[in-house]
Structure 1
Amino acid sequence: MIPWSEGVWTTPPAASVVDPDDADLLVTAVEGSDAWRTTSYGFVHDTEHALLAPFPQDSAVEVEFTADFEGQFDQAGLFLRIADDRWVKAGLEFSEGSLQLGAVVTAPTSDWSLAPVPSWKGRRVTIRASRAGDAVTLRARVDDEPLRLVRVLPFPPDAIASAGPLVSAPSRADLTVRFHAWRVTASDATLH
């Protein structure tokens, strides 16, 4: 487990408090916070709340949180950062009236992929990024179900990167997400 205190915020949230009863981290987003660069919308948002620590080659990072949100574009998950215009966010987002599992890869403009997962609402979700060779493999699961493949993306093997929990609330001021764990493990041995 990575202690919450080891991370550095990309943009400080409205509040972040460690629950003394269970050591969960409760993060309240600032209204208008988001991460996006240019594509289709024409704007750049770099106000996400991402708590980051080093993400070296041949390692994997996981965050676990409760998916209890329903405001338009509410989002939580995992953020991987190389530079202001080279980053990845993966996790859950409330979009088009449903909870969605997806990823945004920015290099230097953003793309976006989504798949509906409405049954994940209110449950524990784990988002995992495994870094090996010239790629990052993103996986996700709900509760204790098996991890499912979300995406494989190119990632420079020599890049100095950081990763950790992410929260953003583009359209409201009262989103609070409960993170249960932040872990670093060995990278995945195989893709499948």
Structure 2
Amino acid sequence: MASHLAFKFANSKETPPSPSSTTFQLTTQASTDIWRKPGPPEIQTFNAPILYKSLPLSVFQRARVTVSAPWSTLYDQGGLVFILPESSDGSRKWIKSGIEFYQGEAYVSTVAADRWADWSLVQTGLRGGREVTLEFERSPEEGTLWIYVVDGEKKIPVREVTWILSEGDEKECWVGVYAAKPTESSKGTEPELVVDFKGWELDVV
């Protein structure tokens, strides 16, 4: 476990919790996101609150968390995030996976950004349409990163990302959680999104 590593915030002035914390909450305003899309117009957004631990890429093994919130506005989202703040080509690369509210329903959403970001949605392992447990895990045999939805004793694979762990062992990575609210709330709904996280785990070697 990596309970000795300090938590840090990006895009937030909040005080980070203690290094051993396993339960926390992020609050985000509208017009926040982690997203990158070619144009025209080109879109590059990286202003969502992120709570993370910084470590060498080589020591990362696994991260897990349960995420929940009153999702109600298009693209409301929160979950796990894995970031290379500076990759081999000098750009920022990242993966995020969590709940995202789309077309009036909650989905498990995963986005991986190498040069540009892609996006996938599945509905599996969701509890009450508002909570899910997610896990990022290094595959020692393949050297890739697997993303799982954890449903009881079952781990359901939803994505394999083949490139992010191949950036160089001494590269810095950020592993943590995020919350984002890309869309303005409609009249009568909350102007901000409060996302709860529990059961945080981070394993390193």
TM-score tier after normalising by the smaller chain length? 0.7 to 0.9
Structure-2 residue corresponding to 1:138: 147
CA-atom RMSD in angstroms: 3.0
- Whether the 8 Å contact between 1:64 and 1:182 is mirrored in structure 2 is yes
Alpha-carbon distance change, 24 to 160 in structure 1, aligned in 2, over 3 angstroms = closer
Structure number with larger C-alpha Rg: 2
Alpha-carbon distance change, 139 to 16 in structure 1, aligned in 2, over 3 angstroms = farther
**159, 166, 182: which one aligns with 2:178:** 166
Q: Which runs of 5+ in 2 are unaligned?
A: 86-90, 186-190
Alpha-carbon distance change, 24 to 169 in structure 1, aligned in 2, over 3 angstroms = same
Structure-1 residue corresponding to 2:73: 71
User: Which piece of structure 1 moves more, 59-68 or 90-99?
Assistant: 59-68
Number of residue pairs the alignment of both structures matches: 182
- Whether the 8 Å contact between 1:82 and 1:162 is mirrored in structure 2 is yes
Structure-2 residue corresponding to 1:152: 160
Structure-1 residue corresponding to 2:33: 34
Aligned partners of 1:65 and 1:118: how far apart in 2? 12
Q: Which runs of 5+ in 1 are unaligned?
A: 188-192
* Residue 46 (1) aligns with residue 29 (2): no
Percent identity over paired residues? 20
Aligned partners of 1:16 and 1:72: how far apart in 2? 29
**179, 197, 204: which one aligns with 1:179:** 197
- Whether the 8 Å contact between 1:65 and 1:181 is mirrored in structure 2 is no
Structure-1 residue corresponding to 2:120: 113
- Whether the 8 Å contact between 1:99 and 1:117 is mirrored in structure 2 is no
Query: What TM-score do the two structures reach when normalised by structure 1?
Result: 0.80
